[in-house]
Amino acid sequence: MTDTPLLFSPIKLAGVTFPSRVFVSPMCQYSSVDGFANDWHLVHLGSRAVGGAALITTEAAAVVPEGRISPQDLGIWKEEHVPALRRIVEFLHGQGTRAGVQLAHAGRKASMAAPWNGEKLVGPEDGGWTNVVAPSAIAFAPHYAQPQALDIEGIVRVIDAFRQATRRAMAAGFDVIEIHAAHGYLLNTFLSPLSNHRADEYGGSFEGRSRLLVHVVDAVREEWPLESPLFVRISATDWTEGGWNVADSVRLATVLKGRGVDLIDASSGGVVAGATIPVGPGYQTPFSARIRKEAGIATGAVGMITSPEQAEHILRTGQGDVVSLAREMLRDPYWPLHAAQKLGFAASWLKQYLRAAHRENPARAGLESK
């Protein structure tokens, strides 16, 4: 390619400039004890920074203990979590990578086993908990917890938990916060009429069902500087008749833009067990494209993005402003560097890894074997 690939052109969101549009999506690792980040997280996230990603966002960090998907989830609900997170942020910054944290509450999908132990509920005897909450007392599936419907006092506590987590994210030095309102977790279940059957101010109409997310965004924005980007991950559709749909997502994105949100991370699904989802390469990019066009907000395209050519096409055709990769980054932590080479762009390999960049002609790097 003669022109600079759009994939490797900088983008400015709020007051932060990212050197490229290759972002790493949050990926649960189920490797924490009591919510603490550890060496696994440092190596997992750090290796993707060495690989050249512009933004790396932690897995879902629970804002309260009962907001974890599993007992092994990352947490940010207490001050003691901050130093280990700061260590990771400092390493990412040292590689020229921006650091993000995803603030989350699992809602009715909480207290489940790590996936390699089977999809099953974890009881208190095995480190789980019983105070699982949701907008309405409706279980996600028979083998998930029977949740308690949050009362108003509980909703206020959730909002404050996101506020306090934001303060900890600032103390840890993160550049970006993403609020997790997708995949059937707490904020997503408030949005969907399939999981929110409330009759009070947090249910019923679109305004009622979106009220909790709006209040969380407001609480976060009150603490998070305007020059620091704020993302929200949403499920753009429930993939189910009578559920949340793309038109709702456009409307929500318009509201959130006016509350200081800088980017919508457009995923889908997760509210309905067994929903028919036509998974395939780029199957979610039409959602990010429509939200971007109709709400006038930056969007992140996610889902089954694997090749550099595909990622470049998504950006060139206006389907998103950035691309976020997860599984492909697990397969290849150096995907950004390999993608740059494939698209004819000068990849910025670290000096320690120049041997890999010049495998055909090591002398080009001045690294001949002795």
Question: Annotated active-site positions, please?
Answer: 185
The residues, ordered by sequence, that sit 6+ positions from 307 with a Cβ below 8 Å of its Cβ are none
**Which distant-in-sequence residues (6+ apart) come within 8 Å of 277 by Cβ?**
239, 268, 269, 283
CB contact at 8 A, 111 and 145:
yes
What are 186's two structure tokens? 């707490």
User: Which of 162, 325, 179, 184 has its CA nearest to residue 261?
Assistant: 179
Question: Do residues 339 and 323 lie in contact, with contact meaning Cβ atoms separated by under 8 Å?
Answer: no
Query: Of 10, 50, 287, 12, whose CA–CA distance to 175 is shortest?
Result: 12
Q: Of the candidates 149, 136, 142, which has an alpha carbon nearest to the alpha carbon of residue 119?
A: 142
Q: Which two tokens stand for residue 137?
A: 């007392």
209 and 190 Cβ atoms separated by less than 8 Å = yes
- DSSP one-letter string for 358-369: TSS-GGGGT---
